[in-house]
């Protein structure tokens, strides 16, 4: 069973009788090119170790209510998920090379995108801001030694704080295609990527077939109104909907739905030469 507590026991257990914390060992093995991943983490995070389709691995995450909303009508989204869901998000951050958010999330939440709830390295921070709307004071730009990328549309003047790399990418009607985004990240050695939000950003990657997996963290709450977790083109009939292989894992109060999107994933990076 996956530990969901915030403060884990030491590597060899502790006086309170808590089992040994195998997360640090898992983290080390996960990043090595080979080596069997230790239980219980292999089952949950093994599928995001390496891409099946190409040499990139892209995982989306979305934390939502029972009625499929990620934020209230006023845009408030803190505390949708409980502590175990948040810890899971921090574990995902610790496992990837880069975490990507849209400027809507950066403006609404001013997140740090660091790993604070578990042991692990901070990923590179990538902000999709085609029109250069994010102020330099945003916390994602904090100079903490981590690579920070501001992705804008070509032709946009986007002044960024020192140390933040501005990457101007071709855009059609302000939209940068997810394969273009992933290629820019891969060029910088960022191959395992978390698309953390918000709804529009994750939805665009999903529509483009650029997610290998999607982790949906369902909280046992009903918001009643507010922003939908996914915004996709409409279909006519329910039986036209794509059926996705999904595993469910209980994380204390939250339910994690691990969706396998490999059947829809389009190749973006270098084709796999071996599995």
Ligand X SMILES: NC(=O)c1ccc[n+]([C@@H]2O[C@H](COP(=O)([O-])OP(=O)(O)OC[C@H]3O[C@@H](n4cnc5c(N)ncnc54)[C@H](OP(=O)(O)O)[C@@H]3O)[C@@H](O)[C@H]2O)c1
d(CA 215, CA 248): 10
Asked whether position 80 contacts ligand X by CB under 6 A, the answer is yes
d(CA 51, CA 53): 6
| Residue 195, Cβ density class (10 Å: 0-12 exposed, 13-18 middle, ≥19 buried) | buried
Per CB under 6 A, which region of 112-120, 137-145, 198-206, 260-268 contacts ligand X? Answer: 198-206
Q: Count each helix (H run) and each strand (E run) in the chain, helices first.
A: 6, 11
Q: How far is the CB of 102 from ligand X (least distance, A)?
A: 2
Contact 161, 25 (CB under 8 A): no
Asked whether position 109 contacts ligand X by CB under 6 A, the answer is yes
Asked whether position 105 contacts ligand X by CB under 6 A, the answer is yes
Q: How far is the CB of 101 from ligand X (least distance, A)?
A: 6
Per CB under 6 A, which region of 4-12, 26-34, 99-107, 250-258 contacts ligand X? Answer: 99-107
CB count in 10 Å sphere of residue 22 = 17
Q: Which of residues 12-51 bind ligand X (CB under 6 A)?
A: none
User: What angle do the packed helices 23-31 and 83-95 form, to 10 degrees?
Assistant: 30
d(CA 142, CA 183): 25
Site string for ligand X, 173-192 (x = CB under 6 A): -xxx-x--------------
**Beta-strand (E) ranges in 27-97?**
57-64, 69-71
Applying CB under 6 A, among 91, 125, 204, 265 the residue interacting with ligand X is: 204
Asked whether position 8 contacts ligand X by CB under 6 A, the answer is no
Applying CB under 6 A, among 98, 199, 216, 259 the residue interacting with ligand X is: 199
Q: What would the DSSP string read from start to end of 3-33?
A: ---SSPPPTT--TT-PPP--HHHHHHHHHSS
Helix (H, G, I), strand (E, B) or coil at 48: helix
Per CB under 6 A, which region of 63-71, 157-165, 236-244, 261-269 contacts ligand X? Answer: 63-71
Asked whether position 102 contacts ligand X by CB under 6 A, the answer is yes
Asked whether position 70 contacts ligand X by CB under 6 A, the answer is yes
Asked whether position 154 contacts ligand X by CB under 6 A, the answer is no
The upper half-sphere exposure of residue 8, i.e. CA atoms within 13 Å in the direction of its Cβ, equals 19
Per CB under 6 A, which region of 3-11, 114-122, 169-177, 182-190 contacts ligand X? Answer: 169-177
Asked whether position 82 contacts ligand X by CB under 6 A, the answer is no
Applying CB under 6 A, among 3, 82, 198, 269 the residue interacting with ligand X is: 198
What dihedral do alpha carbons 44, 222, 104, 6 form, nearest 10°? Answer: -40
Nearer to ligand X, 71 or 138 (CB): 71
Binding site for ligand X (CB under 6 A): 62-63, 70-71, 75, 77, 80, 101-105, 108-109, 128, 130-131, 133, 174-176, 178, 196-201, 204, 227
């Amino acid at each position: 069973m996956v530990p969901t507590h915030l403060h884990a026991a030491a590597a060899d257990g502790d006086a309170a009788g808590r089992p040994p914390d195998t997360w640090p060992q898992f983290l080390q093995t996960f990043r090595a090119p080979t080596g069997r991943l230790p239980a219980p983490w292999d089952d949950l995070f093994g599928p995001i170790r390496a891409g099946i389709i190409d040499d990139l691995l892209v995982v989306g995450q979305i934390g939502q209510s029972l009625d499929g909303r990620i934020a209230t009508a006023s845009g408030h989204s803190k505390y949708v998920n409980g502590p175990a869901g948040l810890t899971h998000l921090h574990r995902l951050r610790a496992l990837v090379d880069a975490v990507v958010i849209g400027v809507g999330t950066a403006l609404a939440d001013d997140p740090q995108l660091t790993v604070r709830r578990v042991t692990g390295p901070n990923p590179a921070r990538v902000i999709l801001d085609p029109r250069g709307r994010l102020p330099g004071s945003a916390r994602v730009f904090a100079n903490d030694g981590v690579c920070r990328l501001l992705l804008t549309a070509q032709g946009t003047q986007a002044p960024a704080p020192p140390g933040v790399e501005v990457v101007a990418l071709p855009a059609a009607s302000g939209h940068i295609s997810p394969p273009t985004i992933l290629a820019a990240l891969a060029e910088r050695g960022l191959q395992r990527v978390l698309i953390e939000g918000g709804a529009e950003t994750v939805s665009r990657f999903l529509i483009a077939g650029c997610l290998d997996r999607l982790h949906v963290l369902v909280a046992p709450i009903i918001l009643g109104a507010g922003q939908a977790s996914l915004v996709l083109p409409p279909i006519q009939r329910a039986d036209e909907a794509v059926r996705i292989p999904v595993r469910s894992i209980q994380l204390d109060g939250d339910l994690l739905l691990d969706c396998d999107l490999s059947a829809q994933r389009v190749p973006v990076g270098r084709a796999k030469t071996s599995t």
